[in-house]
Structure 1
């Protein structure tokens, strides 16, 4: 069964996803939508997309689509995903699912009211290496009871008030763009935290340019993470328990080596390289869900996406970071 995809947006993520859809059998990139016909046509020429729409409204009105990937900035997720759901399409929406938990709740309600599939595009959760992590942690218990997660992610982006990463109107800041990954990693392993300690450095525009937090869980574990727009934080991760530790190197999500060090000092390293950019795995999962008639993913459930935003809302409130849409 061929699944026909539409992509709403033509930016960097849209291009990476378009590349990776070409790696999947029975996935057809059938349409693209942009706010400008010229951009839709250029994207269509690049990725051999037959239907090029000069507005998002025209894309969601296309009857020959099964699922739409929403690839616009955080601030537009509610509007654009709602349009697609109400038009009768399944939706894979870029992370975070919405700007805040209230918007996420509205979006989830819309999906359920229209009986349509909706999933947050937390692409790292579907990477091949995550199968290894879950097997080692949960099935083989190679670390024993995991007590600690550390994760860092950062980029070096010069301050520019007009850049989306620093623009409050576009949901800018390190947390929603980068910090969401280690937050989601902690949720995947331990669930929502029972207590949070955090700190942030704000940019001149009022968004968080750097942030860090410690998640505490009543049954013992801690998750310690940081995210930065102004520092190359290394993009590493480490899980540890009494029986050993599991470390991901700088580009672990790109298939770079992981290393397991056991309590006796022995080590094992392995890599899970793959073709493409890594977005094909979440897309393949979406197609499986659609073929099975699901309206929600068992791997990235909507309740978890909502809880992630509740936690991030609380962090932003503590830091005094708010977006114009929230006034």
Structure 2
């Protein structure tokens, strides 16, 4: 494909499948290489998505000249190592969220980005979908007045899943907070910024994995109530209430196709359907930044990722969430 950006993917699970489908919808993107520790899986992915190159190790993909940007869809615990290795090979990196287990890891990745002068971004894809972008603009413009309350949840039942899998295995930084709780935390941060105070309470299973957490952010003139869990399915809606009106983001809010605005009792529906699943917008943002020779995005900057992981670190500290490998 002429003038296209060559992409590679490492870690070929469900998220990588969804991402590859959306990548095919971006006119100037080309999936050039995929890598898995299983060559059988890599070849199957290659065949399904008509990818030129498949590898049974990640380093080989980093050596592929046709790959300019690497999308890292590995478990949380592998983001640090492979993001830095990719950047050391001169590759731009889009790494799945949370981009690191903690702030220290993220700082090391940002340092690698600067050292090698390559683009690096956390794949916080919800930030780029049309509905969330419009909501951010509406709130910032004062359409609902001063925000006093925000509520967001993200929960589904997953206790019947494989205990060795990514979601429930503490050795892989499993649990609800880092996997899905990051979304409500992100929304509160996006709309209200850094809180003055945080309270949090978590529930754990026998393995020590956190499977449910309730968080409150306290601001000078607002509260945010946030919840994530793997023990039951929540409505997955979000509400942002101001003194002049209320904005309700439709379920599932992190991938919402629209929202309802209620001002003075007058409700208006807004529809912002996504192209594909919605990953297309973060892909286009990567392309825009590369075209402008930027090593980070102004819409989801290194500073944004640092502040988000700092919030997650603090929540974990308060709620007593620690992983075995942290000592």
Note whether the superposition's TM-score is higher than 0.5.
yes
Which residue in the other structure is 1:275 paired with?
275
Q: Is the 8 A contact 1:255 1:271 kept in 2?
A: no
Unaligned runs of 5+ residues in structure 2 are: none
- Three-state SS of the structure 2 residue aligned to 1:106 is helix
State the alpha-carbon separation in 1 of the partners of residues 292 and 181 from structure 2.
32
Partner deviation per Cα, 1:127-180 (whole Å, 9 max, x = no partner): 1102220232112x2210111110011011024422221111111010000110
* 1:224 positional shift: 1.0
State the alpha-carbon separation in 2 of the partners of residues 254 and 189 from structure 1.
16
* 1:324 positional shift: 2.6
Which residue in the other structure is 2:228 paired with?
227
Aligned partner of 1:178 among 171, 177, 180: 180
Which residue in the other structure is 2:73 paired with?
71
Which residue in the other structure is 1:298 paired with?
298
State the alpha-carbon separation in 1 of the partners of residues 52 and 171 from structure 2.
33
Which residue in the other structure is 2:240 paired with?
239
State the alpha-carbon separation in 1 of the partners of residues 307 and 270 from structure 2.
33
Aligned partner of 2:29 among 27, 41, 56: 27
TM-score, with normalisation over the residues of structure 1?
A: 0.96
| Aligned positions of 1:256-275 closer than 5 A | 256-262=257-263, 264-275=264-275
State the alpha-carbon separation in 2 of the partners of residues 2 and 99 from structure 1.
33
Distance 1:314 1:134, change over 3 A: closer
Aligned partner of 2:53 among 51, 54, 64: 51
TM-score, with normalisation over the residues of structure 2?
A: 0.96
Unaligned runs of 5+ residues in structure 1 are: none
Q: Is the 8 A contact 1:254 1:273 kept in 2?
A: no
| Aligned positions of 1:82-93 closer than 5 A | 82-93=84-95
* 1:75 positional shift: 0.7
Distance 1:315 1:92, change over 3 A: same
